[in-house]
Amino acid sequence: MSAFPYLSTTIGTPLLGVAAIAVLPKERAALARPIALLASLVALGFAIADAVAFKTGGPRFQLSESYAWIPTFHVNYSVAVDGVALVLILMTAVLVPVVILASWHDADARGGALTPQGSPAESKRSVRGLFAQLLALETLMLGVFAATDIFLFYVIFEATLIPAYFLIGSYGGARRSYAAVKFLLYNLLGGLLMLAAVIGLYVASTHSPVGAAFSFQTLSKAVGDGSLTMAGSTEKWLFLGFFIAFAVKAPMWPFHTWLPDAASEATPGTAVLLVGVLDKIGTFGMLRFCLELFPHASHYFTPLVLVLAVISTIYGALLAIGQTDMMRLIAYTSVSHFGLITIGVFALTARGEVGATLYMVNHGLSTGALFLLAGFMISRRGSKSIDAFGGVQKVAPLLAGTFLAVGLSSLALPGLSSFVSEFLVLVGAFEKYPVAAIFGTTAIVLAALYILWWYQRTMTGPVASSVEGFKDLNRRELAVIGPLVALIVVLGFVPSILTNFINPAVSQIPAHVQITQQAPHSVAQDSATQGNGSGQ
């Protein structure tokens, strides 16, 4: 228990913003924007304070707080972070103010990126609603990464669907209600399976010497020391309950089809949070819960998961190449990237886990920036179609330049942040599953294809008539994209800013998960002497 409730303060700050927006009189609704920005920036400040307070040499979980919530069922409000959760909280706290600034005009009757012409729904686009929901979503996203009570995690996991559903359904494009419902159905279905598994786990714990518990640390320890044993089949079913929920969330082939629709119909800002943060709950959940609570089942299912992850990686990339809608294109690239993250998680090596965690953050930054840049283009042109653009670099060089920089990060160019994580994931997988890793390397080529072909079609060539008169990035847009590009570059050169937090967390994953921590066995020991002896 820390003296100061760091995490609760961080999580609660956006809620204060929601309250402030709620009491705004209707005629001053426009104030919702600066209030939301301020609240999210304060939350970012607290998130940074969390990182400062976090001792990298200390115990695995820190900044813990725990209060009884439903004592009858041993449900607590328990929050704590390890390095993995901490960097995801930092990423969330960075992305939300950026998204708020990018969404500045999304609730306007006109000028919003996806405002359908003459849509009857315009009246429903309330400024206060948009920004209050973005903040509410931030609280939930911060909470879900911090929750160490499995029941609390589940509740927040499901609760994120509510603001996300309304953000897509109220502020999105023409087919927004179809997309929002599809999003909800998929995720509810996944959530139901997880609910069953959560209950099942609770039941299992009541029958064990540990006694009924929802605390992640207690359960993990019990699994590790053998006091909580499950029958093999029970463990497999529970694993699947969690895993499928997470595989829907971090869309994995074949559960991915909700994502392109949702990302394409949502406003760019919502898409950033949806793909950049909410989907990460899936991969985070696999790493945190699946591996640690169900170690045998994780090992049992690893081949299957890797096959699906490899399919996702290649399938998503090929689909991205075939898209004509920019938002759908980014969504499919994410399917590919989530495939790689999953490969990293299930590689079960320290390189893979660190790489997967870094990848979650880097993907949030670069894909977030791509969505926002696509949004800037869409708001200028009024079309999401790639064919509607051409020669943009001539009229808006800054837009084209930042787009290229962010795109290069997405294709994992060394020097930009994604390279570090992609290479770690691949090398971590290569140690144990070289075939999966080699299949994964096809992403190196395919990513170059979808990014550079997209760049070529929209940015180069003669200036399309519809693009003439395009304005370059304005100050607000620069303030949105600048910090992301700066982070992408800095983290490409100095990834240790994040690995300082992630490394100890991965090293402290309990032994029963059987993460390979050591470097691969080197030939040096056995052959150095022999090699010298027989040297030519």
Partner 1 sequence: MPPSTYAPVAATGVFTLTAWVVALPMIGAAILLLGGKRTNAWGHLLGCLAALGSFALGAVLFFSLLGKPGDARSYDQHVYTWIPVPGFSADAGFHLDQLSMTFVLLITGVGSLIHIYSVGYMAHDDNRRKFFAYLNLFLAAMLVLVLANNYLLLYAGWEGVGLASYLLIGFWQHKPSAAVAAKKAFIVNRVGDVGLSIAVMLMYTTFGGFAFTDVFNKAPGADRDTILGIGLMLLLGACAKSAQFPLQSWLLDAMEGPTPVSALIHAATMVTAGVYLIVRSHVIFDISPNARLLVTIVGAITLMMGAIIGCAKDDIKKALAGSTMSQIGYMVLGAGLGPIGYVFAIMHLVTHGFFKAGLFLGAGSVMHGMNDDVDMRHYGALRKYMPVTYVTFGLGYLAIIGCPPFSGFWSKDKIIEAAFAQGGTSGWVLGCTALLGALITAFYMTRVMLMTFFGEKRWVEDEQGHEAHPHESPKSMTIPMILLAVGSVFAGGLFSIGSSFANWLEPVTGRAEGHSPINTTVLSVITLVAVALGVGYAWRLYGTRTRPVPALAPAGSPLTRAARRDLYGDAFNEAAFMRTGQWLTRLLVYFDLRGVDGVVNGVAAGLGGSSSRFRRLQNGFVRSYALSMFGGAALLIAALLLVKA
Any contact of residue 184 with partner 1 (CB under 8 A)?
Answer: yes
Any contact of residue 385 with partner 1 (CB under 8 A)?
Answer: no
User: What is residue 523's three-state secondary structure?
Assistant: coil
Cβ pair 266, 204 in contact under 8 A: no
Place of tokens 């290479």: 423
Site string for partner 1, 148-177 (x = CB under 8 A): ----------x------x-----------x
**Least distance between partner 1 and beta carbon 505 (Å):** 11
Kindly tell me the burial class for residue 332, based on how many C-beta atoms sit within 10 Å of its own C-beta (0-12, 13-18, 19 or more). Answer: buried
Length of the chain: 536
Ranges within 226-265 binding partner 1 (CB under 8 A)? 253-254, 256-257
> At what angle are helices 434-459 and 397-410 packed, to 10 degrees?
170
Ranges within 100-129 binding partner 1 (CB under 8 A)? none
Closer residue to partner 1 (CB): 9 or 466? 466
Kindly tell me the burial class for residue 231, based on how many C-beta atoms sit within 10 Å of its own C-beta (0-12, 13-18, 19 or more). Answer: exposed
Task: For residues 103 and 251, give the distance between their C-alpha atoms in angstroms, rounded to a whole number.
Answer: 25
Any contact of residue 521 with partner 1 (CB under 8 A)?
Answer: yes
Kindly report the number of other CB atoms within 10 A of residue 89's CB atom: 25
Task: For residues 243 and 285, give the distance between their C-alpha atoms in angstroms, rounded to a whole number.
Answer: 8
Kindly report the number of other CB atoms within 10 A of residue 109's CB atom: 11
Kindly report the number of other CB atoms within 10 A of residue 234's CB atom: 16
Task: For residues 197 and 238, give the distance between their C-alpha atoms in angstroms, rounded to a whole number.
Answer: 5
Any contact of residue 449 with partner 1 (CB under 8 A)?
Answer: yes
Any contact of residue 528 with partner 1 (CB under 8 A)?
Answer: yes
Ranges within 1-60 binding partner 1 (CB under 8 A)? none
**Least distance between partner 1 and beta carbon 466 (Å):** 16
Closer residue to partner 1 (CB): 225 or 526? 526
**Least distance between partner 1 and beta carbon 58 (Å):** 17
Any contact of residue 520 with partner 1 (CB under 8 A)?
Answer: yes
Beta bridge partners of 215: 149
Any contact of residue 427 with partner 1 (CB under 8 A)?
Answer: yes
Any contact of residue 514 with partner 1 (CB under 8 A)?
Answer: no
Kindly report the number of other CB atoms within 10 A of residue 475's CB atom: 8
Any contact of residue 414 with partner 1 (CB under 8 A)?
Answer: yes
Closer residue to partner 1 (CB): 234 or 507? 507
Closer residue to partner 1 (CB): 241 or 495? 495
Say how many residues touch partner 1, by CB under 8 A. Answer: 88
Any contact of residue 435 with partner 1 (CB under 8 A)?
Answer: no
Closer residue to partner 1 (CB): 2 or 496? 496
The single residue among 34, 45, 211, 531 that binds partner 1, judged by CB under 8 A, is 531
Q: Which two tokens stand for residue 398?
A: 């800054």
Reduced 3-state DSSP string for 177-202: HHHHHHHHHHHHHHHHHHHHHHHHHH
Any contact of residue 438 with partner 1 (CB under 8 A)?
Answer: yes
Q: Which stretch binds partner 1 (CB under 8 A): 58-66, 292-300, 373-381, 422-430?
A: 422-430
**Least distance between partner 1 and beta carbon 242 (Å):** 16
The single residue among 30, 59, 73, 387 that binds partner 1, judged by CB under 8 A, is 73
Task: For residues 81 and 85, give the distance between their C-alpha atoms in angstroms, rounded to a whole number.
Answer: 5
Any contact of residue 211 with partner 1 (CB under 8 A)?
Answer: no
